[in-house]
Structure 1
Amino acid sequence: MSVHDRAYALPPQPLDVFTCVLTGVNQIEASAGTGKTWNICALYVRLLLERDLNADQILVVTFTKAATAELHERIRGRLAELARAIEIDDDGGDPFVAQLLDTTLGPDGLDRELAGKRIRRALSTFDQAAIHTIHAFCQRALQEAPFAAAMPFAFEMEADDASLRFELAAQFWRERIEPVAATYPAFAAWLVARGASPLELDAQLARRLKKPLAQLRWGTSGTTPPTLERERNDDARARFDAAGALWHAERESIERVLDDAQAALKQTTHKREAVRAALDAWGRYFAEGDCHAAPPREAAKLTATALAKATKVKFEPPEHPFFELADALASAAEAAEAGHRTRWLALLAMWLDGAPQALSAMKRTRRLASFDDLLSNLHGALTAHPWLADTLRARYPAALIDEFQDTDPLQFAIFERIFAGPGSDGEAGPLFLVGDPKQAIYSFRAADLHTYLAARHAATARYTLAVNQRSTAPLVAACNRIFGANPRAFVLDGLDYTPVAAAGRARAPLIDETDPARERDADGALRVWMLPSGEATLIKREAQRQAAEACGQEIVRLLRGAREGGVALGAQALAPADIAVLVRTHKQGSLMKRVLAAWGVGSVELAQSSVFATLDAEQLERVLAAVDAPGDLRRLRAALAADWFGLDAQALARLAQLADAPALAHADEATAWVERFSRYRSLWLDRGFATMWRTMMRELGIGERLIAGREGERRLTDVNHLAELAGARSAVHPGIAPTLRWLAAERARGGGEDAQLRLESDRDLVQIVTVHKSKGLEYAVVFCPFLGDGARMTGVGTGLPDASEYHEDAQAGARAVLHYGCEGADADRAEAEAAREEAAERARLVYVALTRAVHRCYLVAGAYLSSRSTKESRRSVLNWLVAGDGRPFETWADDPPADDAIEAAWAGLADDTIARAPLPSPARRVPLAREAALGSKLAARTMGRTLTETWRIASFSSLAAAGARHASVTVDDEPRPDHDALAAARQEAAAAADPVWLPEPTLPVPAPTPEALLAADDILAFPRGAAAGECLHRMFELADFSDPSTWPGAIADALVERPVATDADTAARLPAMMAHLIADVTATEVAPGMTLAALDPTRRLTEWPFLFASPSLELPALRGLLARHGYADVALEAGTLSGYVKGFIDMVVEHEGRFWIIDWKSNHLGTSPAEYGAAALEAAMAHHAYHLQALLYLVAVHRYLKARRPSYDYDAHIGGYSYLFVRGVRPSWRDGAVPAGVHARRPARELIEALDALMSGERTS
């Protein structure tokens, strides 16, 4: 017998961590709560001391960042304690230190002074300690040999390569699958019917990359993939047409033949109703006219073959020529299906053969790498360059691998190549593989327990940890009884249960003076509640509801008792956070959360579900789609239907009516929503997703509305999580469309690890935890209401040939197999193996769940009724544990014991540690009252003053608005254009400035024209509001005023980019209104001697941004300066602005050597020329503080020209500003000599220079 065979065959020995040898490959099999980390720390200290290794020479690997951080702190702490003990020669009562002083540092051991030096050396260099996740270790190893790894020196890490995979899949689909589908229409129809797409290729590649060492098998041909053969020359159309013609001609005759044959046909399959359903199915089949489609399933009853099988003995089957043709159609469809499957498998084989290499090449070209690439690249480098293993072995002479049960073949192959072979001293290792195979529950992450079992062949020694440090002795004894009842408890060969003992350490006892079970002597540490049986057996849904209700009722009893002083952990009352409810799925967790809420108990849910699978992810996608196209009322309605906005059905109905009924009274309501979402779109494009999102959340009160609803904390956490992920994606791939595509893809695939649901609260709440998430945690009291679920986990099939996953010859190496298109006996074997491995993992999940409790565990077991199978509840793994009786699982699952036998098995387990009782009957709910607040009611103080940021980037909008509302402003007020809607400050008087036209007597004021009498293309009928203003601004920005041929394109683009919400009739007239407007504005004199139509296009700048310094602007002094120059008072905040002034000028033009500022204003002032005359415009300028805006713009241009033109002179080069209130600008409208709608002024030189000086911090007289 070889050493390896002996290591596998001999029973493992209990680990004595202070005396075990520090050579070879050692497998340490832990159990739940047996101090795995404590023993790793001890081995680390011994390796430091006895092997004289530095901290950076001992490799410690685990599988999560959190576990890495914990190991790092625990090992450092242990070293610090030991250094202190050696220094003062006192173990301080620490058993670990005391035993180490007696063994490694005892009389026959290492000199203590030398040991102290080695410990202090390790502590001084511990920042370089090689304690890593598996991926971090691979990355460091590759960095030491980049040429061997064939990786670029600098590359960007991506947590997930899904986008690259999909890009490659889409390319393969275009280049290889679409040409084949175009050649074979029947195959194309087959792909469409089964929903085949690049997403399926992506999923299969991801599956392959997670198991790169698995063997691929294809159908019955083994490892040889199918080839892409030509489709047989089969005249499907002729066969279909012949059968269809006969059907239409002989339908009644066929029906009579079948009616007459009823006595001869078996009624189990061919009752009259079933025959008529088959006739109807054939009718629909021929009506659809698709010759490549297979006949419906129910239609197959009327084929000659089916009728012959359904004919009773001594009777002749019914005859009609159609039955033979139906047989031919069915046979041809079956043959075609087989051909399509083979063709798909051939294409899939081509894809899986070349895609991994193509993906690697794509990543090298783009200098990218995913975490999984680190593993595969290191494995490839070790395989191609054996010297690399020696290099890494010299770099890390010893290694400890934690959580080894969660490894996979690729990871173990890496460690085996480096450490399992003989080193420079001729010995293997030391390599310690530490893990608990009974807690291997992460197969969905590609963890492979068979690798752990196969690793026993490489081990030179096997040890166990058999003392439970977590649970009380009664609970440990109860678990020993549960998992010791069936010799095959964990289903797989080689995975046995070793009883553990409870540690003798003292712990605070659970005191439960209110426990009614004490009176019945049923107060065991493990309490099994049996579901009703016999005639009272519940259907599954009701059984789960009552199980959850019973748990909620008991939790309330415990917490109420804790408040009254009867339930405690030692001297401390039992707290809600000491209680956990373990579930398997998010659905079960939601049920438990609702039940606890009904009992008045707060809870928090920890699960591994994806945030992209939530309702809020769907609602986020709809909302962002509406932000992308705010003028699309269909998208807008879909977004506003989300409960984030609080709209009722009536409000949504009014929005729905708007598209069908123009000029409704509530059109302004829709317009307001369109304008709001248009502004969010601009914010996203100008300032990024985060700014847009914060603004939307604040303005619409989304957070407040969510937190006030059911599961408010959970939902608000999810919404913030989704926004964080979307913001991170948008930062890397800017733009709205890429973010929407990403969000849709993530919702389809479920996201990666960063999408797992987060903890929604850190308050003292009952914990609802999935079993997967609970691993490694402990709770005083645990409830397991749903562990008895016997349903198998089934995915949603696509109809495409998929791979069966199983392991072959587990004892000889447990090779994983991905078998595509397996049929017959292979399919049966694969199905049986899959069921066995699923059951094995279920058993391990039960083990993890039952070993989380410290003092008490509640378990619901027993029978229920299922619509899927009458055997479902009986063959649950929970029943297998107590009633399996050592039989092979396959045999037991095919014929599980009857309910009464299972009941008897549970009854036989009951003793003083396991209490068996009926499920408590539902009681009248008396919700747990919220604890009364201590003292008087607390309230937040109200701030009575305004705090402003002294240093900031300000703009006209922020200065005027902040002064008007006396509110604080943000550090970055305004990086977007100052369009109409941004000037919200209201003023009381008109500003004075030097007119550029001499005033003349004004004409009498005509009566305004009613809007109903306006021309169809009159701009005065154009919608109002911010969105309308943005649209007109965009048109003026895009148009070439001197070339009318550019105007239609500018108008169309503006309407698309800045949509305006209105009714259908008005929407149709918008282009004509805008065309009329631009013709009027360009033909009107907007400054003396200047029209825009005659302006040289090269002498204009649109949306000109500026940013100039204002180190110390005293805002009260600014108000005084404006007043001294005849301007009305402007409401500004008190204080000083230190920072910058920023803005966008609509247009700067040069005309005859002078520079003019042009600003578009879409304010609707009325419908007559006088309402756009000088007095009206003066009032509007003052009302909106536009004078201040114009002066800031002139200072920006003044400073710019001073810096750029050595000969600059204000009087010679500045023309002034012209504010165009465009709805009133038209050649025929005038106020005396002044064109209506045009407010043109040239401020005095002294004012601009004084304002410039004031902005620079100088005082002005």
Structure 2
Amino acid sequence: MVRRRWRCAGGVVKAPRTIPPPVRDAQARASDPATSVFVSANAGSGKTHVLVQRVIRLLLAGVPPEKILCLTFTKAAAANMAERVFTTLGRWVTLEDDELDAAIRDAGIAHPTADLRNSARELFASTLETPGGLKVQTIHALCTRLLQQCPFEANVPARFTVLDDRDQTEMMERASLAVMLDASRAPDSAIGRALLAAMANAADVTFKDVVREACLSRDHFMAWTDAAGSAETATRQVSAALGVEVSDRLDDIDREIVDGPNLPRPLWQGTATALAAGSNADQAQAGRLAEAMRATDTAQVDEYLNLFLTDAKTPRASVVTNRFRNKNADLGNRFDAEALRLPPLIEKRRAITTRDRSEALLHIAIAVAANYRREKLTRGLLDYDDLIDKTLALFASGASGWVHYKLDRGVDHVLIDEAQDTSPRQWDIIAHIISEFTAGAGARDNLMRTVFAVGDEKQSIFSFQGAAPREFDARRRELKKKFEDAEMRFESIPFTYSFRSGHAILKSVDHVFRDETIYRSIHAEKAYPLHEALADAGPSQIDLWELSIADDRQDIEGWRAPFDGVPVTSAEVKLSKRIQGEIRRLVDGGTATGRLGNRRRLTYGDVLVLVRRRGNLFDAVIQALKHARIPVAGADRLKLTEHIAIIDLMNLADALLLPQDDLALAVALKSPLFNLTEDELFTLAWNRKGSLRDALTAHAAERGEFRSALDRLAGCERRFRTETPFAFYAWLLGGDGGRARILRRLGHEANDALDEFLELALSHEKKAPASLQGFMAWLRAADTEVKRDM
């Protein structure tokens, strides 16, 4: 058994942990710098530790830092990996010989020597001082560096700028607005007709989101339309796929539906009268037919079809009753014949509707994408998809030999973290980088060159950003063949032990994935590796609760209740209260936690609540915990302009920019920035002669609270006219103590929102004139989401 000291995030060294020999052996094999390795590792199995150990062993083996390339999925992961490497190397500098020998053995080298100790102590300085240093970066950062090195060969601007999400959103808004204006000026043009069709069939926000998604779907939607060459050609392809002709029109199908041979419109009045004399079910059908008679155009067709279709748009089991058939045999036969005639027409109508909507989307999305591309080209910008596309094109171009030469002399070892989230196109870039590792001049001077990848298909983000979990296994098999054909060492190593989870947790995961259908959906192999907890893992338990069901009764809410509030009788609120109660029970009941030999009482900070998506349940759980006064870190993500602290800051800006805006000033005065109560605000607002600002001036002498609020407001009015938005808000939150007042009322969760707000104010000044009005408009136009470091 080997004992290892583990360091937690705060830097405190935890108690030593016993590592079983099989785990130790798997980690040593995975970090062997002379072997290419693909590691399949579940969460908590120590894969990041092994990745860091492999980097350190490469450095100990004499590999120059600039020859190592580490690719991660996020910037945060890259920073974390680099920090762990430098922390380890920095600690080695100060260790005594015995301690350093133990650390080197812990890294996987069985027999440290004096020379190795000397090299280990020099690694920290050499890694920091080497030009280029240790390359730990995201795939997009790598592409940026390559394109900057070869701008001419890649056909990109020499000083291009990478487009961030906020600027991309703004550019898409401008591109969309330009297309909408062009369409409105020429309603009879193809783009004008497309806009009319879109307005008739989709909400404004929904359609804008669909257009944006289509324009940014580089690998699918835009690749298809680019290959088609025009919206008309793409529309013909859609028509063929749906089984309709390009010449088919919705109006023709609608007329065929309502003026068919069985129940044409002239017969509707008499039919409705006959139905009204029948049973309740027949009378309901009479009502539907009457609605069809009152409607016009497309709505009339929809109402008529309601006679034959349920609310779920499935065929009715019986259109009329047997009693009606007995009394009205001819009409009963007509209904039966119509029920047989309509289904093919309904399907064709749906297909044509889909085709027409798709055609509208095609025309608008292609035009928006063209505007978006044009502005990028004009301003010398590349978005994240451009980085991938341009890099792949660079490798496929005639200059690929030059690029390979530069790369070949710069990278000998590639390490890939979170490989299950690497998209096929990103894998293609990696494949180009390592293509010479096993052949040609790349295998120069018998130099050992390796690839290391670690991932877990079960944790894949799946289609998001193009991730394909099966790609990990496919690339593993492909590289395994290449390295073995070149007689180079290659291993596939599963990490089956978990340092984090208990026995019950792992068994539950195994229970799901032992189903061959489920496992084969993400992996080509049939044998699913079972997972094991360490011997000293704490007890674990999985409880399956019954579904929470909303109460039948409707909760009566006050007239002041928010429109988007979740009723207390809803399933989400009921479940959130149960979660809150369970957490309280576990903590108050003295539940023990921690691994064996290091047990302690459970605290609220030990509890993590995971939900499938951020929706009503997400908000209800946070609200329930806060109402119960249980300390909670809050949401891991928040919409900046929906945070109450930012709303207060924005309302203050509105009041300063337009002094007549009494509502904005009232919101600001009631906020922690001015801290007036509702009664004090009522005193100002009730029966006032002029604006709320005038009322505050008039009442300033009556109370100290009013005088303090007036003085602070006057100070804001003086500053915002002469200072930039960032300088103004930095003074308001810092020098004037606004941040402290906000945190006292709203808690430390508001810190993240305030920091992001200031960062955006500073960012806005770098790209636009520094005006408060402009900053407010810019802030409201973008949907900024803050990802909090939990």
TM-score with structure 2 length normalisation? 0.70
Counterpart for residue 174 of structure 2:
167
2:400 is the counterpart of 1:386? yes
Counterpart for residue 667 of structure 1:
690
Distance in 2 of aligned mates of 1:634 and 1:356: 40
Question: Which digits, 9 at most, give the CA deviation of each residue in 1:917-974, with x for residues without a partner?
Answer: xxxxxxxxxxxxxxxxxxxxxxxxxxxxxxxxxxxxxxxxxxxxxxxxxxxxxxxxxx
Distance in 1 of aligned mates of 2:764 and 2:465: 24
Distance in 2 of aligned mates of 1:561 and 1:403: 39
The answer to which of 303-312 and 122-131 deviates more is 303-312
- Structure 2 residue runs of 5 or longer lacking an equivalent are 1-23, 238-245, 481-489, 555-567, 699-709
Deviation at 1:480, TM superposition (A): 6.0
Question: Is the alpha carbon distance of 1:236 and 1:177 closer, same or farther for their aligned partners in structure 2, counting shifts above 3 Å?
Answer: farther
Q: Which amino acid aligns with 1:456?
A: R
Higher relative contact order (CA 8 A, sep 6+): 2
Question: Is the alpha carbon distance of 1:469 and 1:175 closer, same or farther for their aligned partners in structure 2, counting shifts above 3 Å?
Answer: same
Counterpart for residue 559 of structure 2:
none
Question: Is the alpha carbon distance of 1:642 and 1:332 closer, same or farther for their aligned partners in structure 2, counting shifts above 3 Å?
Answer: farther
Counterpart for residue 501 of structure 1:
532
- Structure 1 residue runs of 5 or longer lacking an equivalent are 1-12, 106-110, 511-523, 658-663, 760-772, 774-1261
Question: Which digits, 9 at most, give the CA deviation of each residue in 1:709-753, with x for residues without a partner?
Answer: 5x644457546644653553355333355434433332xxx43xx
Q: Which amino acid aligns with 2:461?
A: I
Q: Which amino acid aligns with 2:694?
A: T
1:30 to 41, 48, 59: 41
The answer to which of 558-567 and 454-463 deviates more is 558-567
Question: Which digits, 9 at most, give the CA deviation of each residue in 1:530-555, with x for residues without a partner?
Answer: 43899x99999766555544543444
1:449 to 469, 475, 478: 469
The answer to whether the Cα contact below 8 Å between 1:295 and 1:330 also exists between their aligned partners in 2 is no
Instruction: Show the 5 A alignment for 1:261-300.
Output: 262=278, 270-280=281-291, 282-283=293-294, 285-286=295-296, 291=297, 293-295=298-300, 297-300=302-305
Question: Which digits, 9 at most, give the CA deviation of each residue in 1:805-826, with x for residues without a partner?
Answer: xxxxxxxxxxxxxxxxxxxxxx
Distance in 1 of aligned mates of 2:288 and 2:180: 39
Deviation at 1:430, TM superposition (A): 1.5
Question: Which digits, 9 at most, give the CA deviation of each residue in 1:847-896, with x for residues without a partner?
Answer: xxxxxxxxxxxxxxxxxxxxxxxxxxxxxxxxxxxxxxxxxxxxxxxxxx
Q: Which amino acid aligns with 2:470?
A: H
Counterpart for residue 788 of structure 2:
758
Counterpart for residue 158 of structure 2:
153
Question: Is the alpha carbon distance of 1:686 and 1:370 closer, same or farther for their aligned partners in structure 2, counting shifts above 3 Å?
Answer: farther
Question: Is the alpha carbon distance of 1:197 and 1:653 closer, same or farther for their aligned partners in structure 2, counting shifts above 3 Å?
Answer: farther
Question: Is the alpha carbon distance of 1:724 and 1:449 closer, same or farther for their aligned partners in structure 2, counting shifts above 3 Å?
Answer: same
2:278 is the counterpart of 1:258? no
Deviation at 1:191, TM superposition (A): 2.1
Give the SS at the match of 1:273.
helix
Deviation at 1:601, TM superposition (A): 2.3
1:686 to 722, 744, 748: 722
Distance in 2 of aligned mates of 1:308 and 1:591: 41
Deviation at 1:79, TM superposition (A): 4.0
Distance in 2 of aligned mates of 1:565 and 1:66: 29
Distance in 2 of aligned mates of 1:355 and 1:654: 50
The answer to whether the Cα contact below 8 Å between 2:268 and 2:293 also exists between their aligned partners in 1 is no
Counterpart for residue 411 of structure 1:
426
Deviation at 1:247, TM superposition (A): 12
Give the SS at the match of 1:59.
strand
2:415 to 392, 400, 419: 400
2:137 to 132, 137, 141: 132
Counterpart for residue 310 of structure 1:
319
Deviation at 1:156, TM superposition (A): 3.5
Give the SS at the match of 2:763.
helix
Question: Is the alpha carbon distance of 1:278 and 1:634 closer, same or farther for their aligned partners in structure 2, counting shifts above 3 Å?
Answer: farther
Question: Is the alpha carbon distance of 1:309 and 1:137 closer, same or farther for their aligned partners in structure 2, counting shifts above 3 Å?
Answer: same
Question: Which digits, 9 at most, give the CA deviation of each residue in 1:1113-1146, with x for residues without a partner?
Answer: xxxxxxxxxxxxxxxxxxxxxxxxxxxxxxxxxx
Deviation at 1:647, TM superposition (A): 6.6
2:631 to 571, 591, 602: 602
Give the SS at the match of 1:667.
coil
Deviation at 1:415, TM superposition (A): 0.4
Distance in 1 of aligned mates of 2:603 and 2:309: 72
Counterpart for residue 226 of structure 1:
235
Deviation at 1:54, TM superposition (A): 0.4
Counterpart for residue 861 of structure 1:
none
The answer to whether the Cα contact below 8 Å between 1:213 and 1:410 also exists between their aligned partners in 2 is no
Q: Which amino acid aligns with 2:274?
A: V
Question: Which digits, 9 at most, give the CA deviation of each residue in 1:1063-1121, with x for residues without a partner?
Answer: xxxxxxxxxxxxxxxxxxxxxxxxxxxxxxxxxxxxxxxxxxxxxxxxxxxxxxxxxxx
Deviation at 1:317, TM superposition (A): 5.5
Deviation at 1:30, TM superposition (A): 1.1
The answer to whether the Cα contact below 8 Å between 2:720 and 2:728 also exists between their aligned partners in 1 is yes
Distance in 2 of aligned mates of 1:545 and 1:721: 30
Question: Is the alpha carbon distance of 1:638 and 1:35 closer, same or farther for their aligned partners in structure 2, counting shifts above 3 Å?
Answer: closer
The answer to whether the Cα contact below 8 Å between 2:163 and 2:382 also exists between their aligned partners in 1 is yes
Distance in 1 of aligned mates of 2:743 and 2:591: 27
CA RMSD of aligned residues (A): 5.6
Q: Which amino acid aligns with 2:617?
A: Q
Counterpart for residue 100 of structure 1:
109
Give the SS at the match of 2:109.
helix
Deviation at 1:58, TM superposition (A): 0.5
Deviation at 1:136, TM superposition (A): 2.2
Deviation at 1:414, TM superposition (A): 0.7
1:458 to 478, 485, 506: 478
Distance in 2 of aligned mates of 1:81 and 1:25: 28
Instruction: Show the 5 A alignment for 1:643-654.
Output: 648=678
Question: Is the alpha carbon distance of 1:452 and 1:628 closer, same or farther for their aligned partners in structure 2, counting shifts above 3 Å?
Answer: farther
Q: Which amino acid aligns with 1:29?
A: S
2:459 is the counterpart of 1:436? no
Give the SS at the match of 1:28.
strand
Counterpart for residue 733 of structure 1:
768
The answer to whether the Cα contact below 8 Å between 1:307 and 1:318 also exists between their aligned partners in 2 is no
Question: Is the alpha carbon distance of 1:551 and 1:233 closer, same or farther for their aligned partners in structure 2, counting shifts above 3 Å?
Answer: closer
Give the SS at the match of 1:101.
coil
Question: Which digits, 9 at most, give the CA deviation of each residue in 1:761-805, with x for residues without a partner?
Answer: xxxxxxxxxxxx7xxxxxxxxxxxxxxxxxxxxxxxxxxxxxxxx
Question: Is the alpha carbon distance of 1:445 and 1:637 closer, same or farther for their aligned partners in structure 2, counting shifts above 3 Å?
Answer: farther
Deviation at 1:259, TM superposition (A): 1.8
Question: Is the alpha carbon distance of 1:310 and 1:434 closer, same or farther for their aligned partners in structure 2, counting shifts above 3 Å?
Answer: same
Deviation at 1:77, TM superposition (A): 4.0
Distance in 2 of aligned mates of 1:28 and 1:679: 61
Q: Which amino acid aligns with 2:606?
A: D
2:605 to 572, 577, 599: 577
1:369 to 366, 373, 382: 382
Q: Which amino acid aligns with 1:501?
A: E
Counterpart for residue 243 of structure 2:
none
Deviation at 1:440, TM superposition (A): 1.6
Q: Which amino acid aligns with 1:130?
A: K
Distance in 1 of aligned mates of 2:736 and 2:107: 63
2:66 is the counterpart of 1:56? yes
Counterpart for residue 10 of structure 2:
none
The answer to whether the Cα contact below 8 Å between 1:135 and 1:375 also exists between their aligned partners in 2 is yes
Question: Is the alpha carbon distance of 1:331 and 1:143 closer, same or farther for their aligned partners in structure 2, counting shifts above 3 Å?
Answer: same
Counterpart for residue 194 of structure 1:
201
Larger radius of gyration: 1
Instruction: Show the 5 A alignment for 1:830-909.
Output: none
Q: Which amino acid aligns with 1:33?
A: G
Give percent identity, aligned residues only: 19
Deviation at 1:226, TM superposition (A): 1.1
2:56 is the counterpart of 1:41? no
Instruction: Show the 5 A alignment for 1:1102-1141.
Output: none
Query: When you count strand as a share of all residues, which structure comes out higher?
Result: 1
The answer to whether the Cα contact below 8 Å between 2:513 and 2:528 also exists between their aligned partners in 1 is yes
The answer to whether the Cα contact below 8 Å between 1:549 and 1:595 also exists between their aligned partners in 2 is yes
Q: Which amino acid aligns with 1:57?
A: K
